[in-house]
Amino acid sequence: MTEEAGLLDEARALDLPLVIGGHSFTSRLIVGTGKYTTNQIMVDAIRASGAEMVTVAVRRVDLDRSQEEGILHHLSPEEFFLLANTAGCYTAEDAIRYARLARAAGFNEWVKLEVIGDQTTLLPDVAATLVAAKALTEEGFKVMAYTNDDLITALRLEDAGCVAVMPLASPIGSGLGVVNPYFIREIKRRLQVPVIVDAGVGTASDACVTMEQGVDGVLMNTALAAADDPVRMSHAMKHAIVAGRLAYLAGRMPSREIAVPSSPVRGMLD
Amino acid sequence: MNEATRVQVRINGKDRDVDAGHSVRSLIESLELHPSLVVVELNMEILARDSYGETPIQAGDSIELVHFVGGG
């Protein structure tokens, strides 16, 4: 048995599967496929991460072939569960259009909905996200909605029928980690649907801390793709996600600002 | 090339002259793309893949050919 298979077996024995929209996943890590320097590194990194669900974007075919070919030349839809995103969309109408195009590709009716509101921060336009979420769920989509760490928006997205709500840890591609753990915990406490933290994780400790807040999973892309060694970082993230999850389930000891000896104070020699 | 056998269409935002008489399917194949890996939006309407062969390309059509690329 490889170390990787052993780790996921261990997680499986100590944890329940992640169930989103009726679909069961062993790994609580969802990864993006963007920004890798080569397709081979992307595939190797994704395999190393243990992720079962991967995000992809919808774009025009480059008819001049000056850019890379479609990702399905490199990534098998039989091996990974494809989650198409609406990245780059700034209006509800555009996001709906991209989601419909993605569904027409014929793999599934799932979409990672994101409607961006600002070019500098890439923070979501939550009003437009809600409009698109309602429209897409009515059309039968299973919507996983990227949103900010605002509880009320998260509740409204759940009411709209999203199968998962995905608050950010910090801005997309920033690598700042969880800037507001309290709000992430509060969203998790109040929602029934899975809460996946999407965007902002920079390194393994960020992923671990995120999972320790009790959320159901983490979605990341840049933290892997922009690491000096993406494959090695993917191994690290897989361990960090499992570690943070199990630490959350285990329940941490209370922290206190005084020392408490671990060894008996009685029985010392004169 | 005879002018009458060519029609102008807009593909992915660029005007192109293509042979008259193409179906969506034969147009995709003429661009060396695999029909099963491309989604087609013809004049803002998404086309079902099983209708590519019977849908004619006409002068002035606006065609978007999209596929999945890497993204987060």
SS3 A4: helix
pLDDT digits (tens, 9 = 90+) for A217-227: 999 999 999 99
Residues B54-60, mean pLDDT to the nearest whole number: 96
Four-CA torsion A63, A64, A70, A74, nearest 10 degrees: 150
Per-residue model confidence (pLDDT) at position A1: 45
For the stretch A1-40, pLDDT in tens is 455 567 777 777 888 999 999 999 999 999 999 999 999 9
Interval B15-50: pLDDT, tens: 999 999 999 999 999 999 988 889 999 999 999 999
Q: What is the mean pLDDT of chain A?
A: 94
- Which of A101, A108, A113, A116 to mutate against chain B (most B CBs within 10 Å)? A101
Indicate if A112 belongs to the active site.
yes
Closest CA to A248 of A166, A188, A192: A188
Beta strands in B1-72 (DSSP E): 6-11, 14-19, 39-42, 45-46, 62-70
Compute CA distances A264 → A255, A260, A261, whole Å: 20, 10, 7
Tokens of A75: 């990534």
Residue A80 has pLDDT above 80, yes or no: yes
**What beta strand segments (E) does A185-238 contain?**
196-198, 217-220
- Report angle CA A226, A230, A233 to the nearest 5 degrees: 105
- Please judge whether A56 and B46 are an interchain contact, meaning their C-beta atoms are less than 8 angstroms apart: no
- Tell me whether A197 touches chain B (CB under 8 Å): no
Supply the pTM of this predicted model.
Answer: 0.93
Interface contact A58, partner B, CB < 8 A: yes
Helix (H, G, I), strand (E, B) or coil at A58: strand
Nearest CA-CA distance, residue B39 and chain A, Å: 6
Its ipTM equals 0.92
Strands A196-198 and A217-220 turn out to be: parallel
Amino acid identity, residue B11? I
Where in A148-245 does DSSP place strands (E)? 164-167, 196-198, 217-220
Q: Copy the structure tokens of residue A77.
A: 């839809």
* Structure-token match 């102008």, residue found: B8
Q: Dmax of chain A from CA atoms? A: 86
* pLDDT given for residue A65 in this prediction: 73
- Helix/strand/coil percent split, chain B, to 5: 20, 40, 40
